[in-house]
Structure 1
Amino acid sequence: MIARSLLLWLHGLGDSGPPNEVRIKTSFTSPEFVNTKWSFPSAPSQSVTCENGAVIPSWFDVHKLPVTAFSPRDEKGVLKAVQSVHKIIDEEITAGTNPDNIFVCGFSQGGALTLASVLLYPRTIGGGAVFSGFVPFDSDTNIIEQIPPDAKKTPILWIHGMADEEVLFEAGQEGPPFLERAGVSWEFKAYPGLDHSVSTDGLSYLETWIKARLRSS
C-alpha cells in the first residue's frame, strides 16, 4: 500500500508558493506519489535590505546580492521563519503522516530555510533538498551545537548550478563541509552551466532521491 507523504516546497526571494505548484507537481510522475500531499506556502511580505528596503515576499532579510560565502546572514529572521515550517510539519504528523515520509525542499532563500528547518527540527524526517541555497548561519555561530540528535539522521540533498550569479556556487560549496561538521548525511550535485534556477534534470533527480526514501505503510 502506498503511504501518505508530504512534499513541502519553499520558494525563493520575491516569489510566492502557488506559481511553483504546477511545475513541481507535474515533475513527479511515479505512482509512489499518488498519496502525496503538496504544500506551497508563501513567505510574508517584509522590507528587504538587498532590494533597497522594498516590501516583498521574503522568509527573512537578505542583506546583499549576490549571496557569497561571506555574506552576512539574518539568523534571527531565519529562526523565526523556521518556526512556521515546523508548524506545517507538526500538523502533518498530527494528521497521521509518518515523519519518514515528510520532505522539505526549497529554492534559493527557500533552500536556505529548508536547511535550517530540517536541521533544527526535533525529529528525523524523510529528507531535505536544497536547490541553489546557502548556509543561513554565520560561521562563528554555535548552531551546530543546537542541532538535535534525531535531526542529524535526516539526509540532505544539495543541488547547485555552477553558473549561478545570484547565490554564487562558492556559497553552495559551503554546504558539504558545514553538514560534515554537523554529522549529517549529505549528497551534493553540481550542474555545469546551470544558472540560478531549478532545472528539469534537478527535479527528476529529486523525484528519484525521494522515491528511494519513501516508506510504505
Structure 2
Amino acid sequence: MKTFLMKPIVLLTVTFTSTSLFILYCRPIPSPQRPDYMARSFILWLHGLGDSGPANEPIKTFFTSPEFRNATWSFPSAPSNPVSCNYGAVMPSWFDIFEIPVGHESPKDESGVLKAVQNVHAMIDKEIASGTNPENVFLCGFSQGGALTLASVLLYPKTLGGGAVFSGWVPFNSSMIERISAEAKKTPILWSHGIADRTVLFEAGQAGPPFLEQAGIKCEFKAYPDLGHSISNEELRYLESWIKTRLPSSSWIANLWDCHPDCCWVPSVLDI
C-alpha cells in the first residue's frame, strides 16, 4: 500500500501518486422540472506544516462515488510564517509549533490558532453564503492542518457535516471548551492516527477523544498500527465512506435518475 509521506521538519513538499478511477453512468433524460437530487457539498482540506494546498489536490481522486458529483473542493495554502520548532525558518504554517515531536503536553500557540480559525471560518461562511447547507460542509486536515480542522469545527457557531482529523492534536487547552457552542457539539468528528507516528506522537492523538468527550462531542477514533506520519490510501477510502454516509440519501440510484432505454449506470467495483 502506498502512503502519502509528510516529512516533518526539514520540510519537503509532499508528492502524491494519484490513482485513476473511472465511473460509468447513464446520461439522464433532460427534464426542466426535475430538482437536483445530488445536493451540493463542500470539502475543505487543510495541509500540514511546510506543505501547500495544490500539492494535496490529488486526494480528491479517491472520492469517486456519485454522491460527490456536486462536491466543491478547496485546498488553500497556509501563509508563510516563522516556525519555532524549525529555528525560526519561514515556511507555510497555519500557526506556530514550538517543538517536534508534538506530544500531549506540548506547548500550544492558542493565539495563532484562533487567528487561523478566523480565516477558515471566513472560507466556510463564503461557501454557505453561496447556497451550500452547513450540514454538507466538511473540514479535513493532516497534522497541523488536522489540529486546525479540529479547532475550526469546534469553534464554528453552526453544525457542520463533519470534521476529519488525520495525525493531528488538540491545539488548545481545556479552558476553550466553554467557547464551544451547542450547535458545534453536534458536528461529528473522525480522528485517524498512526501508532508508529514519530512526528505527532500517537499519545497526542489518543488525547483527542477524551477531550471531546469532556466537551460532550462524539468522536470516532481509528488507529493504524504500522502507519507513521503519513496518510494511507486506506484512510482516504474510509474518509470517502464516512462523508458519503453523512450526505443526503443515496437511494437515488434506484429511483431518482431516468435513464434512456438503451443506457444504464454501470457501477465500478469501488462503488459497491
Shorter-normalised TM-score: what interval? over 0.9
Query: In structure 2, what is the Cα distance between the partners aligned to 1:148 and 1:44?
Result: 28
> Is residue 93 from structure 1 mapped to residue 105 from structure 2 by the alignment?
no
1:58 alignment partner in structure 2 = 93
Q: CA RMSD in A?
A: 1.0
Verify the 8 A CA contact 1:120 1:146 in the aligned structure 2. yes
Q: Measure how far apart 1:213 and its partner are.
A: 0.2
Query: In structure 1, what is the Cα distance between the partners aligned to 2:117 and 2:249?
Result: 28
Query: In structure 2, what is the Cα distance between the partners aligned to 1:127 and 1:112?
Result: 14
Q: Measure how far apart 1:52 and its partner are.
A: 0.3
Query: In structure 2, what is the Cα distance between the partners aligned to 1:176 and 1:84?
Result: 25
> Is residue 26 from structure 1 mapped to residue 61 from structure 2 by the alignment?
yes
Query: Aligned residue pairs: how many?
Result: 214
> Is residue 2 from structure 1 mapped to residue 38 from structure 2 by the alignment?
yes
Residue 160 of structure 1 aligns to a residue whose secondary structure is strand
> Is residue 147 from structure 1 mapped to residue 180 from structure 2 by the alignment?
yes
Higher Rg of the two aligned structures:
2
Query: In structure 2, what is the Cα distance between the partners aligned to 1:29 and 1:102?
Result: 18
Percentage of pairs with the same residue: 70
Query: In structure 2, what is the Cα distance between the partners aligned to 1:67 and 1:209?
Result: 27
Paired amino acid for 1:65: I
Q: Measure how far apart 1:47 and its partner are.
A: 0.4
Paired amino acid for 1:171: A
1:12 alignment partner in structure 2 = 48
1:118 aligned residue (136, 147, 153): 153
2:235 alignment partner in structure 1 = 202
Query: In structure 2, what is the Cα distance between the partners aligned to 1:92 and 1:195?
Result: 34
Q: Measure how far apart 1:216 and its partner are.
A: 5.5
Verify the 8 A CA contact 1:129 1:156 in the aligned structure 2. yes
Paired amino acid for 1:210: I
What TM-score comes out, normalization by structure 2 length? 0.78
Q: Measure how far apart 1:156 and its partner are.
A: 0.3
2:117 alignment partner in structure 1 = 82
Residue 12 of structure 1 aligns to a residue whose secondary structure is coil
What TM-score comes out, normalization by structure 1 length? 0.97
Query: In structure 1, what is the Cα distance between the partners aligned to 2:208 and 2:229?
Result: 17
Structure 1: 4+ residue segments shifted above 6 A: none
Q: Measure how far apart 1:132 and its partner are.
A: 0.1
1:43 aligned residue (74, 78, 98): 78
2:202 alignment partner in structure 1 = 169
> Is residue 183 from structure 1 mapped to residue 216 from structure 2 by the alignment?
yes
1:69 alignment partner in structure 2 = 104
1:129 alignment partner in structure 2 = 164
Q: Which runs of 5+ in 1 are unaligned?
A: none
Query: In structure 1, what is the Cα distance between the partners aligned to 2:218 and 2:186?
Result: 7
Q: Measure how far apart 1:215 and its partner are.
A: 2.3
Whose helix proportion is higher, 1 or 2?
1
Residue 231 of structure 2 aligns to a residue whose secondary structure is coil
